[in-house]
Amino acid sequence: MNFYVLTLFPEMIQNAVGTSITGRAIKNGSIRVDTVNIRDFSTRKTMRVDDYPYGGGAGMVMEPEPVFRAVKSVEARIGQKPRVVYMTPQARVLDQTKVESLAQEKDLVILCGHYEGIDERVLQETVTDYISIGDYVLTGGELGALVLIDAVSRFVPGVLSNEESSQFESLQDNLLEYPQYTRPEVWHEQSVPPILLSGDHLKIEEWRHEESLKRTKERRPDLLKNSYRVICVSYGEPGAAENGRLLTESVSRYGEYMDYNRRKLQKTPLRMKPWNLLLLVMPGAGGVGKAFPAEITSASAGVKPAVRYDPSVSFAERFRGLYGSETPAVLVGSDDEIEEASAFLKNRKFHVIARISPAVFGGDQLLRNAALDIREKVLHFH
Ligand code: 4GY
């Protein structure tokens, strides 16, 4: 991924990104960070780029023309119109979903203002996204740009090693991380929670989820209103089950997965809450099945694999126990299946917020984009 930072202080950007994980990512070619000095596009022989504000008032304002030319220089270099982000406190505050969606771009221009800001007219003409890193005022946009580059880079393939992986992060679920421990086992008379030494990965995953919830309630209760529990229900050939689990895991770290080929589940009532999300993966979605990694996660907890699919069981019969209560639902399957399912689910008080073609299981990139799209739609729904 290529970042182009338009700034009056390029060395501030280069010094910071050359260090630590972003430094390693630049060296291994996963990201590039190019700086463009806005001063190089000054229209005056003094090389100044600021002037007094019309209407009076304190401070100086950055002129439109040098900023415009700096943006155009990047467009000319890459041969297309990239997204242009302006770092400003007058914007929605950056969150993990926005970070991940920006990581899908090939090129990203980040515009840093100084003084009292930039002439409004050039912002109107060039900026596609306004982003704030928090409700406080900095002396310039550079620290914001650095925060954005750092957070986005973590989702660019090749930036993090396997151990550093960003695939299963709590913040995706609007939850805080659980507490971490390392050696020694006892420190200042305090022991590591025994469950972490048990070797029981399912129990550990459950414990961590509980700790994440507890911590979020205590420290960031505001996050919980945007937090939801993913419940994936699949039926069909074995590929559908695998794909259901893959999709669940890309949407949520703590998703639950159920195989509705199983007779017992069909009979058990499942009453979903408004803060649940139903992911329904139907038979058409198994065609391009992909082997599921053998890791143990809560999504695959307690599922006995390879229950035979019985196509003679009707949709209404299979899901006779399934009820929503203004619960959002995402359907994956062929057009016909989706049609039938959405009529049924509407009667059961679900709201279908997305219909997805089984083609999403054709590759990692497609799946990731679908997961992002789902997460954005659920946030909108809530
Ligand atoms: N907060 N989030 C921020 C900021 C400085 C005057 C416009 C922020 O992202 N950027 O405070 N930026 C101002 C300084 C010009 C940018």
Q: What is the largest CA-CA distance in the chain?
A: 81
For every one of its 382 residues, what pLDDT tens digit does the chain have, with 9 covering 90 and above?
A: 999 999 999 999 999 999 999 999 999 999 999 999 999 999 999 999 999 999 999 999 999 999 999 999 999 999 999 999 999 999 999 999 999 999 999 999 999 999 999 999 999 999 999 999 999 999 999 999 999 999 999 999 999 998 888 777 878 899 999 999 999 999 999 999 999 999 999 999 999 999 999 999 999 999 999 999 999 999 988 788 888 999 999 999 999 999 999 999 999 999 999 999 999 999 876 544 443 333 334 444 445 555 789 999 999 999 999 999 999 999 999 999 999 999 999 999 999 999 999 999 988 889 999 999 999 999 999 8
Measured CA to CA, the distance from residue 373 to residue 366 in angstroms comes to: 11
Confirm or reject: Cβ of 134 under 6 Å from ligand 1.
yes
- Ligand 1 nearest atom to the CA of residue 112, by list position: 16
**Distant-in-sequence, close-in-space partners of 219: CB < 8 Å, separation ≥ 6:** 176
CB of 89 shorter than 6 A to ligand 1: yes
- Minimum-distance ligand 1 atom for the alpha carbon of 134: 1
* Burial bucket for residue 190 (CB in 10 Å: 0-12, 13-18, 19+): exposed
Is residue 54 in contact with ligand 1, taking CB distance under 6 Å?
no
Q: What are the counts of helices (DSSP H) followed by strands (DSSP E) for the chain?
A: 13, 16
What is the per-residue pLDDT across 29-45, written as a single tens digit (0 to 9) for each?
A: 999 999 999 999 999 99
Tokens at 175, concatenated: 């939850």
Cα–Cα nearest to 299, from 355, 259, 341, 335: 259
DSSP string, 271-332: E--TTEEEEEE-GGGGTT--PPP----GGGTTPPS-PPP-TTS-HHHHTTTEE-SSEEEEEE
Do residues 7 and 36 lie in contact, with contact meaning Cβ atoms separated by under 8 Å?
yes
DSSP for 148-210 reads: HHHHHHTTSTTSS-STT--SS-GGGGT-PPPP---S-SEETTEEPPGGGGS--HHHHHHHHHH
Write the residue with the smallest CA distance to atom 1 of ligand 1. Answer: 89
For residue 133 and ligand 1, the question of a CB distance below 6 A is answered with yes
Residue 292's pLDDT is what?
38
Q: Give the separation between CA 1 and CA 105, rounded to whole angstroms.
A: 7
Residue where the block lists tokens 């053998």: 294
Nearest alpha-carbon partner for 30 in 41, 39, 38, 21 = 21
Q: Is the CB of 132 under 6 A from ligand 1?
A: yes
Distance from the alpha carbon of residue 91 to the mean position of ligand 1, in angstroms? 10
Which SS3 state, helix, strand or coil, does residue 337 take?
helix
Residue 78 C-alpha to ligand 1 middle, in angstroms? 27
pTM over 0.85: yes
**In one letter, which amino acid is 31?**
I
The residues, any chain, with a CB within 8 Å of residue 217's CB and separated by 6 or more, are 224
Secondary structure (3-state) at 240: helix
The conformation of residue 59, written as its DSSP 8-state character, comes to S
Spatial separation of the C-alpha atoms in residues 47 and 234, rounded to whole Å: 63
Q: Tell me how far the alpha carbon of residue 140 lies from the centroid of ligand 1, in angstroms.
A: 5
Tokens 């065609």 -> residue: 287
CB of 137 within 6 A of ligand 1: the answer is yes
Ligand 1 centroid–CA 133 distance in Å is: 8
Distance CA 112, CA 66 (A): 13
**How many angstroms separate the CA atoms of 7 and 37, rounded?**
5
pLDDT tens digits for 226-281? 999 999 999 988 788 888 999 999 999 999 999 999 999 999 999 999 999 999 99
Is residue 220 helix, strand or coil?
coil
